[in-house]
Structure 1
Amino acid sequence: MTMECKVISTIEEFGKDAWNALLPSDYPFIQYEFFYSLEKSQAVSAKTGWFPQYIGVYRHQTLVGIAPCFIKAHPYGEYVFDWSWAEAYEDAGMEYYPKLVCAVPFTPSSGPRLLVSANEDSAEIYQHLLSAMQTLAKQRKCSGVHVLFPTQTLCDTLKESGFLERRDVQFHWLNRGYTCFDDFMAKLTSRKRRTIRKERQSIGDQGATVHVLEGEAITSAHWDVFTHFYQMTYLKRSGHTGYLNSEFFHHLGETMLDKVVLVFAEAYGDYVAGALYIKSNDTLFGRYWGSLSDFENLHFELCYYQGIEYCIEHGITTFDAGAQGEHKLIRGFEPVITYSGHYLAHQGFHDGIAEYLTREHDMIQQYYDDAFQHLPYRKA
């Protein structure tokens, strides 16, 4: 049967219904609405160094497969760090950029990266998409193709197609059927329980209260306040106002309101900090945070403890609070392995990076194993 691959630079050309018909789950970041919000706000564009090059596979003009790809002119917003690879290219007199990434921009959360119609053979469509990605990279003179934060199953498929597997460690909280926050706390060592109680009590002692907002309770004014927190926190930390803007957050609120949870801290009549969560049926994703005040332990309360409480209250099994952060470990978050897949067009560099990743895998596994030894849970 006739199969055709197209490269499309705007998600609107697919249409929401055609795109979302291919979703394998309610994982929120691969949904049409999320990419639409990124595009409409210009968070992803040629100007920001995230040039959309979505690949669509069509069978008799019916969309049956999608790879959300972007041509990148820099390494930022990926959370899979390959600066040393770029430096090696430069030392050899070669250009590492542009490169092609298949990813959800600014989102270090593992999940589906290639979409396939339920009526199609996924292995066949995967091969069409991967071949199209490599062809596009060659046409655009990209140094390679990188698939960021795929599932382990997809990463296995990538390896079979010649991609290199890279691993990293994040820390996720797992809901083991807890009935309340105190039930979770009862599983921790007494020292860790005291620490967490002290941190949580300090919020009220400093005059702050916490508000959890969902659905129609979230107004346009709330998005304005949260954007200000997010941008000012980025400015203080990194010297710029972040990857996202007010238009993005407002679009998110308009198109994915049922997936959003906003948590604010209020003190002396004003909001002073906020955290944004995005959810699926089984996972809560902690995504963005901002604060204008230096309240002690407020980040832990809004970004970790409130998320844990929300998961327990709503029966959500996993809390993915984002990349990195060993400080999560002592608060009950457990190490998990994340994956990425990499294909370098230059065979010599491909082989050299393969050797490097073999050594890195051993270090990652050791780090993962060591982290488990420092979990704060009482021994059975």
Structure 2
Amino acid sequence: MTLILKKLTSINDFHSQDWNELNSHDNPFLSFEFFAALENSGSVSKETGWEVAHLAWFDEQGLLQAVLPHYYKTHSYGEYMFDWAWAEGITRAGIGYYPKAVAAIPFTPVSGQRLLISAQLEQKNPKIRHELVSQLFSSVQEASRLDTSLSDKQVSNLQCLFLEEKEVEGWKIAGAMIRRGYQFSWYNNDYQSFDDFLGKLRSSPRKKIRRERRNLMEQGVSFKHFEGCEIDDDLWSFFISCYQQTYLKRSGHLGYLNQQFFEQIRLTMSEKLLIICAYQNDKPLATSLFIKGKDILYGRYWGALELIDGLHFDCCYYQAIDYCIDHEIGCLQPGTQGDYKRRRGFIPEYVYGAYYFCDVNLRHPIQEYLDEETEQLKQQFANWTVTSPYK
């Protein structure tokens, strides 16, 4: 099958059904609706440093066979597998680092497929994944200006962030350097209650969690869960306000995602949404927003008008564990990093990035950096195994 590669500068250049049919794992962050909310709200745009350049492969009949969410970037914000050290060092050496090409879900550190390929195409050609990646690398290297090329501008490197583990080999065979990071996930081992989960922990973390939850109850803090159409205008506005105020206090801005983004996902993805709201003496105090996947609950955004010791842990983790147990959901993924999650029963797992540098003189020092980083991470995982909170 002959495939034609095109660069499309808007999610709206695709038919939603065609895109979603390639999202075979039903990952909510890879849905047409999520990308449309990012782009149509202006949260993702050339002005915010995410110039849209999605890569699409069509067959001779014009049917979409594969797609890679893809951007040109002039900074490294909102990626969560950060390369600031490389960018600074390479720039100091007098070599241009930006723009770079990034295949990712903006502002979303969630692992999953990145190169979405038709199941029929992959069944016919098991090598198609690394063949398409090899084509991308050739296009980047050549910096061709043809309409069907990867780029109409030169980039220093191409990065694919948070690709799932089974995709890694295809990128590696094509010539990418592989980077490891880590996240923490909680797994529901057929727990019947929160106490059942706590019973699997060692004494110290078990007592700490119980003390944190008890302290909140003694201060009049309670929680309610709202899904889909249960989320009314007042609650949604309160969530957005909490999100913006928390970002403002922490980072000096209102957050990467604007109000229009949140309004759109409420309209187009309402069945995927869960809000956990904290109240103190019946007055709303904090919220956390979760997005439901296929047997996975993703913790994404949170905010509080007032911080109380332990509030973040309960609103973002313990309440979500309660929800997963009650609804028989297998996994809770609360976001990036944070050893405090591990101490509360979350399991460390590798995440992966793939990198291709056009300048051959940069590849060796970057690979040395990655090798050293990987060894340090392996040692950290070994230490975590010894200090597991589980019995």
- Alpha-carbon shift at residue 130 of structure 1 (Å): 4.8
Retained in 2: the 8 A contact 1:262–1:275? yes
Aligned-residue RMSD, C-alpha: 1.4
Q: 1:313 and 1:215 mapped to 2: Cα distance? A: 17
1:13–1:136 CA distance, 2 compared to 1 (3 A): farther
Q: 2:256 and 2:199 mapped to 1: Cα distance? A: 39
Residue equivalent to 1:97: 98
Are 1:163 and 2:181 counterparts?
Answer: no
Question: How many residue pairs are counted as aligned between the two chains?
Answer: 378
- Equivalent AA in structure 2 for residue 132 of structure 1: L
Are 1:204 and 2:217 counterparts?
Answer: yes
- Alpha-carbon shift at residue 309 of structure 1 (Å): 1.0
Residue equivalent to 1:271: 284
- Equivalent AA in structure 1 for residue 105 of structure 2: V
Aligned counterparts, 1:1-380, within 5 A = 1-60=1-60, 61-121=62-122, 123-124=127-128, 126-132=130-136, 135=139, 138=143, 139-378=152-391
Retained in 1: the 8 A contact 2:29–2:105? yes
1:133–1:105 CA distance, 2 compared to 1 (3 A): farther
Retained in 2: the 8 A contact 1:33–1:252? yes
Q: 1:132 and 1:190 mapped to 2: Cα distance? A: 52
Q: 1:268 and 1:152 mapped to 2: Cα distance? A: 46
Retained in 1: the 8 A contact 2:161–2:352? yes
TM score, norm. by length of structure 1:
0.96
What SS is found at the alignment partner of 2:223?
Answer: strand
- Alpha-carbon shift at residue 5 of structure 1 (Å): 0.7
Cα distance per residue 1:1-53 (max 9 Å; x no partner): 43211100111111111101111212111111110110111110000001111
- Equivalent AA in structure 2 for residue 19 of structure 1: W
- Equivalent AA in structure 2 for residue 198 of structure 1: R
- Alpha-carbon shift at residue 87 of structure 1 (Å): 1.1
Q: 1:351 and 1:39 mapped to 2: Cα distance? A: 36
Q: 2:44 and 2:172 mapped to 1: Cα distance? A: 28
What SS is found at the alignment partner of 2:315?
Answer: helix
- Alpha-carbon shift at residue 377 of structure 1 (Å): 1.3
Retained in 1: the 8 A contact 2:140–2:158? no
1:129–1:18 CA distance, 2 compared to 1 (3 A): farther
Cα distance per residue 1:269-302 (max 9 Å; x no partner): 4311100111112111111110110212100001
1:294–1:347 CA distance, 2 compared to 1 (3 A): same
- Equivalent AA in structure 1 for residue 90 of structure 2: Y
TM score, norm. by length of structure 2:
0.94
Unaligned runs of 5+ in 1: none
- Equivalent AA in structure 1 for residue 229 of structure 2: E
Stretches of 4+ aligned residues off by more than 4 angstroms: none
What SS is found at the alignment partner of 1:146?
Answer: strand
Retained in 1: the 8 A contact 2:343–2:389? yes
What SS is found at the alignment partner of 2:340?
Answer: helix
What SS is found at the alignment partner of 2:64?
Answer: strand
Retained in 2: the 8 A contact 1:334–1:372? no
Cα distance per residue 1:158-208 (max 9 Å; x no partner): 110100000012111111111111100111122222111110112221122
Retained in 1: the 8 A contact 2:188–2:325? yes
Unaligned runs of 5+ in 2: 144-151
What SS is found at the alignment partner of 1:120?
Answer: helix
- Alpha-carbon shift at residue 313 of structure 1 (Å): 1.2
What SS is found at the alignment partner of 1:275?
Answer: strand
